[in-house]
Structure 1
Amino acid sequence: MLVLRRKIGEAVMIGGTIQVQILGIEGDQIKLGFIAPKDVQILREELYQGIVEENQAAKEQASQIQPDHILNLLKNFQR
């Protein structure tokens, strides 16, 4: 883990395309600003973990579906 000290207004570059700037300090929280290409998704860690958990649950649910059931669903869908 890289640990840096930055002052308000200073920034850190990630990979040459992502800039993280320190915007302010409010109590025990630090306000960050991100400048990144539009194709780079930036999420809070708790949201990212929620997505990972939902994807894992969907994968497990999909693995429980029997192939015959899927074929029947497809046949009914085409009608």
Structure 2
Amino acid sequence: MLVISRKPGETLVISENIRITVLSSGNDKVTIGIDAPRDVKIVRQELVETIEANRASAEKIDSDNIKNIANLIKNNKKIENND
């Protein structure tokens, strides 16, 4: 990780087309502005973690649901065969 100190009004340039400007700092908080092309996805880290957790949860639910449905079908066939 590259660590750089910047003052309000100073800018970092990434890949010639992304600019990050420190707008203000204080009270344990830094406000930044990001200028980037529209096709560059910019998301806060906590949202990325939430999205990943939701995907993992959805995959688990899908897997569990498939197993439950398979068991219901098996059990229903056993009941039908016993009639």
TM-score by length of 1: 0.72
User: What is the Cα deviation at residue 62 of structure 1?
Assistant: 2.2
3-state secondary structure, aligned to 1:33: strand
For residue 55 of structure 1, what is the amino acid of its counterpart? R
- The separation in 2 between residues aligned to 1:63 and 1:2, in whole angstroms, is 40
Q: How many angstroms does 1:25 deviate by?
A: 1.0
Structure 2 residue 68 is matched with structure 1 residue 62: no
Mark the structure with the bigger radius of gyration. 2
TM-score scaled by length of structure 2: 0.69
CA–CA separation in structure 1 for the residues paired with 2:63 and 2:15: 37
Amino acid at match of 1:46: E
- The residue aligned with 2:41 is 41
Structure 1 residues 60, 15: CA separation in 2 closer, same or farther (over 3 Å shift)?
Answer: farther
Q: 5+ residue gaps in structure 2?
A: 71-83
The CA distance in 2 between the partners of 1:6 and 1:35, in whole Å, is 16
Q: What amino acid maps onto 1:34 in structure 2?
A: I
SS at match of 1:30: strand
Q: How big is the shift at 1:47?
A: 1.2
Structure 1 gaps, min length 5: 70-79
Q: Kindly report the root-mean-square deviation, in angstroms, between the aligned alpha carbons of the 2 structures.
A: 1.8
Kindly, what percent of the aligned residue pairs are identical?
35
SS of the counterpart of 2:54?
A: helix
Distance of 1:14 and 1:59 partners within structure 2? 35
